[in-house]
Amino acid sequence: MNEGFSAVSFIQTFLFICLPIFVKKDLSNYFFLEVLYTIFYLLLYVPIMITFLNHYGTEWDIIINQLPFLIGFVIMFKIAGLRKLKIKKLNLKPPKKEILIVFTLFIIAVLFIEFRDTYSFVSFEDVYSQREKGSNSSVIGGYFTLWLTYFIGPVLVAIGLVNKNKKILIFGTLSVIFVYGINASKIALFIPFLIIFLYYIKKRGKDIFKALTGVFSLLCLIAYWLPAQYFMISAVILMRTFGISGLLTYQYNEFFKENPYTYYSHINIVNFITNNYPYDQDLGFVVSSYFFESDNNANANFLATDGIASLGMLGVIIISIIVGLYMLYTKSLVDSKNSLLVGLVFISFSFIILNVGLFTSLLSGGFLFLNIYLYLYKS
C-alpha cells in the first residue's frame, strides 16, 4: 500500500472522479440507465479511483492505472446514451403473472428440499460458515438460487410496485429474503428494500443519483461512528458494500500483471471452444489464494473479470464497450409503458454484475431471459 499520496495525485483523482458526471445528462430519459450509472459510479468507479490512489506509489503509477477505468466508464455510458437501435419486436401477448408466481413457488420448494438440513437465518458473525454450507449445491440449485435472488424475486417486487399489488410485492420480497437462509447472502436482505426505496424516489420525481449519493454518504458516516461493539455492522457497510469493488479490482490488476491473461476463456462457452483456460481453479479462487492463504472465492466485478483478467487494461476498455452496447440494445427494447418496471428490475442486475462478469450475469443471473421477454412480448 502507498504510504501517502501527493496533493497532485489527490487533485488528479478528484478530477477523474468528477469527469464522468458529464455523461449523466444523456441518460435521464431511461430509468434503468439512471440506475446502472448511479450504482456503477458510486459502488464501482469511485471505489476503484480511491483504492488505486491509496495503493499505487508514484503519481504516474496512479494515473496510468486509473486512466483506463475513466475512459471505459465514459465510453460505456456514452454508447448507452446514443440514439435507439431500430429493432422490430414481435409484440406477442405476454403470459399471465400467475405463471411466474407458480414457477417461483416451484423454485422455493426445490431449494428448500435441497437445503433443508442446513437452512438457517444466521447472524452476520456466522455468515461465512452458513455460506460454506450453502456452497455445496447442485447445478440446478445454484442457478435457482441466483435467479431467485437477482431476477425472479426482483421482477415480482417490481410488478407488485408498478401494479400496486401488495400481495405480489410481499411475496416477491419474501422470496428474495428466503435466499438468505441458504447462503447468508446479505444482498438478499438488501435488494427488495432498495427496489422499493428507488420506486418511491422515482415516483416523486426525485433525482436517483442525488438520492443514493445522500443515502450512501449517510450510511458511511453512521458506520464510521458506530461504537466498537457494532464492528461487524460497520465492516459490512464500509468494506463489503463500499470498499470491496475497489480492493478486488486492485488485486486482479496486480495478479494479472504477473500471470497469464485468460483471453476470455474464464467464460465457460469460450473455454468449451478453445480449451485454453490457464488455471486449475475459477478466477476468484486463483486470485484470492495469490494474496491470502485461504480458499475464499474472490468474485469480482465485470471490469476485473471480463476486463483485466481477459486482456489487462485493454480488456477494461473492450468490456466497457460491450456493456455499453448491451445497455444500448436493452434501451432499444424499452418504451414508456415498461420503463419503470425494467428500471426497477435492473437494480438487482447492477449488483450481480458488481460480483461476477457480464456473461455470467446474463446467463446465471437470468437477465438474458429479460431481454428475450422484452423482444418477444408487448409492454
Spatial separation of the C-alpha atoms in residues 270 and 48, rounded to whole Å: 28
Whether the CB-CB separation of 320 and 77 falls below 8 Å is answered with no
pLDDT of residue 76: 98
pLDDT of residue 5: 84
| Domain boundaries defined on the chain | 7-80, 97-214+337-376
pLDDT of residue 123: 76
CA dihedral sign, ordered 184, 297, 53, 34? negative
pLDDT of residue 227: 72
pLDDT of residue 232: 63
Whether the CB-CB separation of 214 and 17 falls below 8 Å is answered with no
End-to-end CA distance of the chain: 51
> Which string of DSSP letters, residue by residue, matches 75-102?
HHHHHHTSPPP------BPPPPHHHHHH
Spatial separation of the C-alpha atoms in residues 64 and 52, rounded to whole Å: 10
In a structure prediction context, what are the per-residue pLDDT tens digits for the chain, which is 379 residues long? 566 788 999 999 999 999 999 999 889 889 999 999 999 999 999 999 999 999 998 999 999 999 999 999 999 999 999 999 999 999 899 999 999 999 999 999 999 999 998 898 877 667 777 777 767 778 899 999 999 999 999 999 999 999 999 999 999 999 999 999 998 888 899 999 999 999 999 999 999 999 999 988 888 788 777 776 666 666 666 666 778 899 999 999 999 999 999 999 999 899 999 999 999 999 999 999 998 877 778 889 999 999 999 999 999 999 999 999 999 999 999 999 999 999 999 999 999 999 999 999 998 888 999 999 999 998 8
Could you tell me which residues come within 8 angstroms of residue 198 by beta carbon, excluding any fewer than 6 positions away?
A: 35, 208, 211, 212, 343, 344, 347
Spatial separation of the C-alpha atoms in residues 285 and 281, rounded to whole Å: 6
Whether the CB-CB separation of 249 and 271 falls below 8 Å is answered with no
